[in-house]
Amino acid sequence: MTEIPAARPAVDYLLLTPGPLTTTATVRAAMLQDSCTWDSDYNLGVVEPVRRELVRLATARHGADYSCVLLQGSGTYVVECVLGCAIGKQERLLIINNGAYGARMVEMARLLGLNHLEIDCGETQRPNLAEIEQQLIAHPDITHLAMVHCETTTGMLNPLDEVAALCRLRGIRLIVDAMSSFGGIPMDIGELGVEFLISSANKCIQGVPGFGFVVARRRALEACAGRARSLSLDLHGQWHAMETQGGKWRFTSPTHVVLAFAQALRELELEGGISARHRRYSENQQRLVEGMERLGFRPLLARHWHSPIITAFHSPTHPGYRFADFYQALKGQGFVIYPGKVSQADCFRIGNIGDVSPAQIDALLAAVAKACEQIMA
């Protein structure tokens, strides 16, 4: 046979990435069990409590109006599933695009043949409320608005509260890609009036990759019946199976990943819930930025635009700098960072989400200093 090398590297890297990210040993250990997708120990015992907990985390007082659908695949599959099912043939979607994930929704809308309109803000600009309102007035046929909450491309936190208020005022149904923020930034989708919130297992809840989820208004899910543009990405179909068959997934469920996710939810609660996690991420991000600035690095975005999720830094202008060398120099010291994703500026990114402590941020900063000495001597 082909020799397949053991996947285990010599060291356990700390992943400072937007996911898959550093998980706890106990989350990984939860996967050491096989489950039957058909059995109630799994469906009623694990899937249903996970769905209920996600609704509880998404809204404190409006839980009865919302329900949760889990779906196989990475986060992108879930965004595509929601867009493909939520927008009817007579409806029109406005997409706010200020980064790669906003652009990805535009691409989906195009491929799905949705009646849509885009506001292209550029990758380093915050969506402008007046411009959004202007578009809604100019195009009264717009029924839905889709926006990314934390644009992971840059780490920018988009103005969800303000956009949600505008949508409530004008009766626009709001779809939020909260992939990289849900679980790490407090929000109450019931208060905000969000119709569909989308996130995935391997971001701020700190599970492993393999599925994503939607927390949506029940009546919005009901309205998706018969609207799917694909067999497997059928939001209502998946919801209906889970609701009527006690947590059963339509097709093979990523059982081990769901067990890890259930453990990750317990650990989120033990940490003190979303507000405590938000505090840890924020403190780590501040520590990171201050330390990197002391080493001469400059963040791409102004501080007040920043999320605590991920930070983009300008690449050094030193002629000896190459991202690949910098990456390897850090990896050799046990830290994995992320390439940049904006087209107008040469950047790299460092993620704050995952099981990462302030002491590990300090260790990273020491490793960055050493890497700089090595490659830019």
Tell me the binding residues for substrate. 349
- Should residue 206 be labelled a site residue for ligand PLP when binding is judged by CB under 6 A? no
Token pair 């303000």 is found at 162
Candidate list 24, 37, 40, 76; residue touching ligand PLP; CB under 6 A: 76
Smallest Cα–Cα separation from 327: which of 285, 264, 371, 279?
Answer: 371
- If the CB atoms of residues 316 and 340 are measured against ligand PLP, the closer one turns out to be 340
- Should residue 74 be labelled a site residue for ligand PLP when binding is judged by CB under 6 A? yes
Nearest-approach distance from CB 107 to ligand PLP, in angstroms: 12
* Strand partners of residue 348: 313, 339
Going 68 to 73 to 79 to 83, the CA torsion angle's sign is: negative
Nearest-approach distance from CB 336 to ligand PLP, in angstroms: 16
Q: Rounded to an integer, what distance in angstroms lies between the CA atom of residue 90 and that of residue 112?
A: 14
Nearest-approach distance from CB 97 to ligand PLP, in angstroms: 12
- Should residue 307 be labelled a site residue for ligand PLP when binding is judged by CB under 6 A? no
- Should residue 177 be labelled a site residue for ligand PLP when binding is judged by CB under 6 A? yes
Within 93-132, which residues bind ligand PLP (CB under 6 A)? 101
- If the CB atoms of residues 43 and 307 are measured against ligand PLP, the closer one turns out to be 307
Smallest Cα–Cα separation from 19: which of 170, 134, 182?
Answer: 182
* Strand partners of residue 339: 348
- If the CB atoms of residues 75 and 237 are measured against ligand PLP, the closer one turns out to be 75
Within 358-377, which residues bind ligand PLP (CB under 6 A)? none
- Should residue 284 be labelled a site residue for ligand PLP when binding is judged by CB under 6 A? no
- Should residue 37 be labelled a site residue for ligand PLP when binding is judged by CB under 6 A? no
Nearest-approach distance from CB 110 to ligand PLP, in angstroms: 17
Q: Site size for ligand PLP, by CB under 6 A?
A: 12
Annotated binding site: 349
Nearest residue to ligand PLP, by Cβ distance, number only:
75
Smallest Cα–Cα separation from 264: which of 360, 200, 351?
Answer: 200
**With CB under 6 A as the contact rule, which of the stretches 73-81, 126-134, 312-320, 335-343 interacts with ligand PLP?**
73-81
Candidate list 43, 97, 180, 352; residue touching ligand PLP; CB under 6 A: 180
Sites of contact with ligand PLP (CB under 6 A): 18-19, 74-76, 101, 148, 152, 177, 179-180, 200
